[in-house]
Amino acid sequence: MSSTTPILEARGLTRSFGAVRALDGADFDVHAGEVVALIGDNGAGKSTMVKALSGNLALDSGTILFNGAEVDLSSPSVASHMGIETVFQDLALAPHLTPPQNMYLGREIPAPGFLGKLGFLDNKTMRARSKVAFDELGATVRSYSSPVGSMSGGQRQAIAIARAVVWAKGVVFLDEPTAALGVVQTKAVLETIRKVRDKGVGVVFISHSMPHVIEVSDRVQVLRLGRRVATFQAKDTSVEELVGAMTGALDAGAKS
């Protein structure tokens, strides 16, 4: 089934901001257990696409299909319920909360029994489980009781990614997850992407680093001026070909 029906598919998405057509009839698809790289020049509409597909942005027109059925991604929680998670380019952690609090924000584990009904939380369990999740990703978090705002960019990125992949059962979007990272951390993120894919999750990876794109993804879809202009099998393409498609130097002859 995964090879025929995409887990998430977008058709003809349109969204304008004033005079700017951020999305102009854009298509997109990702299958379960597949890494799709979404590439394009700055302003091509990648982040806008991610926001639309994660329930964070209303569309002017277009349809979104989840496992072949049309869905209305009207809010982030609708997307969450379907197992769609996102690491946004602007991170979106709460800087004053600790890593476990960020990990479980909006999904807190209540304390057992009556106390839980009163709104008390099971901080111990949340902390222990987030520890497991961070360890699994090789992200050693220095402190589980300090606010994430006091941590380095790389560490915050690791926390944001861990939060997304822990909850993602269907699709996870990573909008430029390695832009702020060093070499070692980037390797860890690429490794994480493979692990998550092997769990059967569809991974959408946005990056400006073509070598990374080719290294980690199965397919590459190219956005230009709010439209998908090409799709490539990662193993058959090259950096030159991708850059050509992004800039429009190569004519938009879509290979598949």
Partner 1 sequence: MSNDSISAKNATADAAGVAADASPTGEPRSEAAVSPDASLLTSGSEGGIGGFFRRIVKVQSFQILLVLLAIFVVFSALAPDTFPTWSNMRLVIQNVSILAVLGIGMTYVIITSGIDLSIGSVLVFSGVIAAKVMQGMGGDGWGTAIVGILVSIVCGVLWGIFNGLLIAKAKVPPLIVTLGTLSGALGLAQVITGGVDIREVPAVLASNIGYGNIPGTTIPTISVIALVLLLILGVVLHKTKFGLYTYAVGSNEESARRVGVKVDRHLIFVYALSGLMAGMAGILSLAQYSTTAIAGQSTTSLAVIAAVVIGGTSLFGGVGTIFGTIVGLFIPAILQNGFVITGVQPFWQQVAIGAVLIVAVYIDQRRRAAASRATKTGKRSLAHLFRR
Report the nearest approach of ligand ADP to the CB of residue 42 (Å): 4
Q: Which two tokens stand for residue 107?
A: 């999904």
92 binds ligand ADP, rule: CB under 6 A: no
CA distances from 81 to 76, 135, 173 (A): 9, 25, 15
| Residues paired with 35 in a beta bridge | 203
- Using CB under 6 A as the binding rule, whether residue 147 contacts ligand ADP is answered as no
Binding residue (CB under 8 A) for partner 1 from 208, 218, 225, 234: 208
Whose Cβ is closer to Mg ion: residue 89's or residue 125's? 89
Q: Is 22 in the site for ligand ADP (CB under 6 A)?
A: yes
45 binds, options ligand ADP, partner 1, Mg ion, none, Cβ within 5 to 8 A by partner type: ligand ADP
Pick between residue 65 and residue 121 the one whose CB is nearest to partner 1.
121
Interacting stretch for ligand ADP, rule CB under 6 A, among 37-45, 99-107, 126-134, 190-198?
A: 37-45
Instruction: Strand 84-87: give its sheet, edge to edge.
Output: 84-87, 171-175, 202-206, 35-39, 219-224, 227-233
Choice from 35, 48, 80, 178 touching ligand ADP (CB under 6 A):
48
Size, binding site for ligand ADP by CB under 6 A? 11
CA distances from 191 to 31, 102, 178 (A): 19, 23, 12
One residue of 8, 26, 35, 45 binding ligand ADP per CB under 6 A:
45
Which range in 12-20, 83-91, 195-203, 213-221 contacts Mg ion by CB under 5 A?
A: 83-91
- Asked whether the beta carbons of 84 and 76 are under 8 A apart, the reply is no
Q: Taking CB under 8 A as the criterion, which residues in 16-45 touch partner 1?
A: 42
Enumerate the β-bridge partners of residue 148: none
Sheet with 8-17: strands ordered across: 20-30, 8-17, 61-66, 69-71
Q: How far apart are CA 209 and CA 249, in angstroms?
A: 18
Residues 62-101 vs partner 1: string with x where CB under 8 A?
Answer: -------------xxx--x-----x-xxxxxxxxxx---x
Q: Is 237 exposed, middle or buried (0-12, 13-18, 19+ CB in 10 A)?
A: buried
Q: Which residues bind ligand ADP (CB under 6 A)?
A: 17, 20, 22, 40, 42-48
